[in-house]
Amino acid sequence: MPHETLTRESVASHNSADDLWIIIDHKVYDLSDFVDAHPGGSVVLEQVAGTDATTAFYNLHRHEVLQKFSDFCIGVLEGEKPEVVDPQPGDLSVVPYAEPLWLRPQFKNPYFKDSHRRLQKAMREFVDKYVKPEAREKEQDGTYVSQELIDRMAETNILAMRMGPGKHLHGRQLLGGVVQGEEFDYFHDLVVSQEMCRTGARGFNDGNMSGMVISLSAVHQWLNDKALMKQVSDDVLSGKKKISLAITEAFAGSDVAGIRTTAEKTPDGKHYIINGTKKWITNGMFSDYFVTGCRTKKGFSVILVPRSDAVETKPIKTSYSSAAATTFIEFNNAKVPVSHLLGEEDKGFTVIMSNFNHERWMMCCATIRTMRTVTEECFKWANQRLVFGKRLIEEPVIRQKIAKMISHCEADQAWLESITYQMNNLSYAQQSKALGGPIGLLKSFVTRSAHEIADEAVNIFGGRGLTQTGMGSIAEQFHRTYKFDAILGGAEEVLADLGVRQALKGFPKAML
């Protein structure tokens, strides 16, 4: 932190490679010991030694670089005050359109109440303090979410909240009591999803227990052995055990009917013997349980398979970080008691389908929020980047691009909130019947928006949009990874088709 009051004259005399001070935003930085370590080289620093380098700095660096190297700051200038906004953990962004409408102070919203706002604030602080730093690190080195972070999410009941509203939240203190488990609704769920994904680390986000989110819900609802259900739920929500959903195979992705993993009953009828492979299983590398789709005698069934010597897991390299723990699994005569069956034998489609609405809706929450972060990055960059002697935003073509990006974010968020309202007010049975189509259409539209936004973002950032570190890193990552949202949880075209096919079921018989 600044501890001296200095003058521009005194700074000017520190202008050599050995004794190098610069001014950034009315503060003085002593870079003498950093010159040789500077990733942009020593020459550029020597060129600005002793001067005000604010414009040069912000033309090339994210503000967080300055926060990271704040120890170099030795003082402030006499009679001057810093002007650049210095965001702190938990802060809302002040950049226009960087927050959804309900979080902007000048607007009203019919859906969000005080408890949603309290939860949003607490979640943002938690994510900024504990999730973001780890996420950025793991995204780079490809290692898995730490047990320390999992324990923290378990203690605060974030793990339990991520499963959405339900009995599993009753009686729990959520993030120190900002919301009661009994009042937790789908708008709280939306808040948790949209805050969790603000890490700028797409692979890590999936690595951070997303396997649990899409599989434990099926265990809660469908595992017939209630004592086993409670034990698995307690173990997972307390962070002791990990779980993932193992449906897709090399043989079958969205076409669940084509899967080849088999579950055959032993002659005494007490066990299933499971054989086959699974591909693209998120979190599989560190999972203790696999909610596994299998072919049984007359159809498709879902069975909870614990890790054992008969279950082998290998990492799959994908275009996002290995931190997601994307896995190839082989079941080689894995023996599981029949009490591990979810729902009825041969009627596993009901189990899987009932899970899909929430999973797809959650993916929409995260994609829309990430699109907004990318739009914010572009808006900030266009506003500060100088080209041909003026700011990028002064070019009408750039403003057109930003307008398009903002419009996608606002439209998609409004549609999402409207669907969330339906989820809050329809019974589970009504939701299953009526919302599959609309959520499918929403997800397929959202990932088309993501496609547009990724495309524009890279063009706005230019070479930086192709570079994994520095100013354009968020845009680069989004462009590299947005397709995960278009494929995972149901491919874009399949979901669009589902939306229309479901609508056709309600089509009037009369010719119109």
User: What is the helix (H) or strand (E) element at residue 230, kind and residue range?
Assistant: helix 226-237
| CA distance between the termini of the chain | 72
Q: In whole angstroms, give the CA distance from residue 138 to residue 207.
A: 9
Q: Does 74 bind ligand HEM (CB under 6 A)?
A: no
Task: State yes or no: residue 49 binds ligand HEM (CB under 6 A).
Answer: no
* Closest to 482 measured CA to CA, from 504, 454, 441: 454
CB of 34 to ligand HEM, least distance (A): 7
Q: Which of 264, 153, 262, 281 is nearest to 215 (CA)?
A: 281
**Rounded to an integer, what distance in angstroms lies between the CA atom of residue 44 and that of residue 85?**
25
* C-beta neighbour count of 238 within 10 angstroms: 14
- Residue 262: enclosing H or E segment and its boundaries? strand 262-265
Q: Which helix (H) or strand (E) holds 54?
A: helix 54-60
Q: Does residue 61 sit in helix, strand or coil?
A: coil
Binding of ligand HEM by 349 (CB under 6 A):
no
Residue of 19, 69, 252, 332 that binds ligand HEM (CB under 6 A)? 69
- C-beta closer to ligand HEM: residue 17 or 92: 17
Among 11, 23, 28, 53, binds ligand HEM (CB under 6 A): 53
Q: How far apart are the C-alpha atoms of 446 and 398, rounded to whole Å?
A: 22
Q: For the CB of residue 38, give the shortest distance to ligand HEM in the complex, in Å.
A: 5
Tell me which stretch binds ligand HEM (CB under 6 A): 35-43, 145-153, 269-277, 340-348: 35-43
- Considering the complex, what minimum distance in angstroms separates the CB of residue 148 from ligand HEM? 26
Contacts of 130 (CB under 8 A, 6+ apart): 149, 152
Q: Is 387 in the site for ligand HEM (CB under 6 A)?
A: no
Out of 12, 17, 56, 95, point to the residue binding ligand HEM (CB under 6 A).
Answer: 56
Among 6, 11, 48, 219, binds ligand HEM (CB under 6 A): 48
CA 297 from centroid of its chain's CA atoms: 38
Task: Name the one range near ligand HEM by CB under 6 A: 43-51, 122-130, 241-249, 347-355.
Answer: 43-51
According to CB under 6 A, which one of 8, 15, 32, 60 is a site residue for ligand HEM? 60
Query: Strands 173-174 and 73-77: what pairing?
Result: unpaired
Which of 10, 72, 235, 421 is the binder for ligand HEM (CB under 6 A)?
Answer: 72
The site for ligand HEM, by CB under 6 A, has a size of: 22
Residue whose beta carbon is closest to ligand HEM: 40
Residue 2: phi, psi to the nearest 5? Answer: -55, 135
Between vectors from CA 377 to CA 65 and to CA 87, what angle results, nearest 5°?
Answer: 50
> Under a CB-based contact definition with an 8 Å cutoff, are residues 355 and 291 in contact?
no
Note whether 187 binds ligand HEM by CB under 6 A. Answer: no
Which residue, 53 or 423, is less far from ligand HEM as judged by CB? 53
Least spacing, CB of residue 202 vs ligand HEM, in Å: 18
Is the Cβ of residue 45 or residue 161 nearer to ligand HEM in the bound state? 45
Select from 60-68, 242-250, 330-338, 446-454 the region that touches ligand HEM (CB under 6 A): 60-68
State which of positions 461-500 bind ligand HEM (CB under 6 A).
Answer: 469-470
Q: What is the nearest approach in angstroms of ligand HEM to the Cβ of residue 336? A: 49
Does residue 17 belong to the site contacting ligand HEM (CB under 6 A)?
no
287 with 329: CB under 8 angstroms?
no
CA pair distance 463, 38, nearest whole angstrom: 20
Q: Are 95 and 380 in contact (CB under 8 A)?
A: yes
Q: Which is nearer to ligand HEM, 72 or 111 (CB)?
A: 72
* Stretch binding ligand HEM (CB under 6 A), from 64-72, 232-240, 359-367, 377-385: 64-72
258 near ligand HEM, judged by CB under 6 A: no
Cβ nearer to ligand HEM, comparing 319 with 469: 469
3-state helix, strand, coil in the chain (%, to 5): 55, 15, 30
Q: How far is CA 65 from CA 39, 58, 60, 69, 135, in A?
A: 11, 10, 10, 6, 17
Coil vs helix vs strand at 476: helix
**Closer CB to ligand HEM, residue 122 or residue 458?**
458
385 binds ligand HEM (CB under 6 A): no
Residue with tokens 């210095």: 86
**Using the rule CB under 6 A, which residue among 27, 62, 360, 385 binds ligand HEM?**
62
Residues that bind ligand HEM (CB under 6 A): 22, 24, 29, 31, 38-40, 44-45, 48, 53, 56-57, 60-62, 65-66, 69, 72, 469-470
